[in-house]
Structure 1
Amino acid sequence: MWRHGFGRVHKWLGLTLALWMVLVALTGTLLLYKTELLQLQYPQLRNTIMPSIAEAATVYDRFSAGYAFLPRADKPWIEVVDGAGTIFYFNGAGKQLLTRPMFGDWVSWMVEFHHHLLLHELGKDIMGVLGLLSLILVITGVVRWWPRHWSWRVLSVRFAKPSQRQFIATLWQLHRSSGVIFIVPITVLLITGTAIMYPTAVSSGLARLLPEAEAVQVTPFPQQDAANWQQRLNIAQHYWPQQTPRLVYLTPTAEGQYRMRLQHAEEWHPNGRSYLVFADHGPLVRADDVRSKSFGFQLSQMVYPLHVAAVGGSFWLIATLLGGLVLMLLPLTGVWFWWRRRLHR
Structure 2
Amino acid sequence: MKLLSWLHRWTGGIVGILLAVIGLSGTVLLWEGSWIMLPGADDQATNDPAALGRSIAAALELDPGLSRITFAGEEIGLHQAIYGDGSGAYLAQDGTLIDRWGSMWERPELWLFDLHHYLFIGEAGKTVTGILGILLLGFSISGLILWWRTRKTFRLRLWPARFTTSAIVRHHRDLGVGASPLLILAASTGSLMVFPALSAWVLSPWAAETEARVLPVDLSAPDLQTDWSLVMTRAQAAFPQAAPRRIMLPVDSGEPIAIRYRQHFEWTPNGRSYVWVDPATATIVSVEDPASGDAASAVTEKYYPVHAAKVGGILWRLAMTFAGISLAMLGILATWSFWMKPMVTPNKMRKRGP
Q: Distance in 2 between matches of 1:48 and 1:266?
A: 24
Q: Distance in 2 between matches of 1:246 and 1:11?
A: 44
CA 1:17–1:231: 2 relative to 1, 3 Å:
same
What SS does the corresponding residue of 2:310 show, helix, strand or coil?
A: coil
Aligned pair partner of 1:176 in 173, 176, 201: 173
1:260 matched residue in structure 2: 259
Counterpart mapping for 1:229-308 below 5 A: 229-252=228-251, 255-282=254-281, 283-308=283-308
With normalisation by structure 2, the TM-score equals 0.82
Give yes or no for contact 2:53–2:231 (8 Å, CA) kept in 1.
Answer: no
2:105 maps to amino acid:
F
Give yes or no for contact 2:118–2:129 (8 Å, CA) kept in 1.
Answer: yes
2:128 maps to amino acid:
I
Q: Deviations over 1:182-215 (max 9, x none)?
A: 11111111112222212x31453355220259xx
Counterpart mapping for 1:36-115 below 5 A: 36-39=34-37, 43-48=38-43, 50=45, 52-53=47-48, 54-62=50-58, 63=60, 64=64, 65-100=66-101, 101-115=103-117
Shift of 1:243: 2.0
2:14 matched residue in structure 1: 16
Shift of 1:241: 1.5
Give yes or no for contact 1:236–1:245 (8 Å, CA) kept in 2.
Answer: no
What are structure 2's unaligned runs of at least 5 residues?
A: 210-220, 349-354
Q: Distance in 2 between matches of 1:291 and 1:160?
A: 52
1:205 equivalent to 2:201? Answer yes
Give yes or no for contact 2:258–2:274 (8 Å, CA) kept in 1.
Answer: yes
What SS does the corresponding residue of 2:342 show, helix, strand or coil?
A: helix
Give yes or no for contact 1:275–1:287 (8 Å, CA) kept in 2.
Answer: yes
Q: Distance in 2 between matches of 1:106 and 1:159?
A: 31
CA 1:273–1:50: 2 relative to 1, 3 Å:
closer
Counterpart mapping for 1:214-229 below 5 A: 227-229=226-228
What SS does the corresponding residue of 1:261 show, helix, strand or coil?
A: strand
Q: Deviations over 1:260-283 (max 9, x none)?
A: 111110111000011111123231
1:192 maps to amino acid:
T
Give yes or no for contact 1:6–1:143 (8 Å, CA) kept in 2.
Answer: no
Q: Deviations over 1:236-260 (max 9, x none)?
A: 3333223221111123566421111
Q: Deviations over 1:84-133 (max 9, x none)?
A: 22221111332211012222244332221111111111211222223222
2:314 matched residue in structure 1: 314
> What is the aligned-residue identity percentage?
23
2:112 maps to amino acid:
M
Q: Distance in 2 between matches of 1:280 and 1:115?
A: 32
Counterpart mapping for 1:120-139 below 5 A: 120-139=122-141
2:24 matched residue in structure 1: 26
Aligned pair partner of 1:185 in 176, 182, 186: 182
Q: Distance in 1 between matches of 2:160 and 2:140?
A: 24
CA 1:82–1:128: 2 relative to 1, 3 Å:
same
Counterpart mapping for 1:157-168 below 5 A: 160-162=161-163, 167-168=164-165
In terms of mean alpha carbon deviation, does 306-315 or 334-343 score higher? 334-343
1:333 maps to amino acid:
L
Give yes or no for contact 1:50–1:76 (8 Å, CA) kept in 2.
Answer: yes
Q: Distance in 2 between matches of 1:168 and 1:49?
A: 51
What are structure 1's unaligned runs of at least 5 residues?
A: 214-224
CA 1:329–1:174: 2 relative to 1, 3 Å:
same
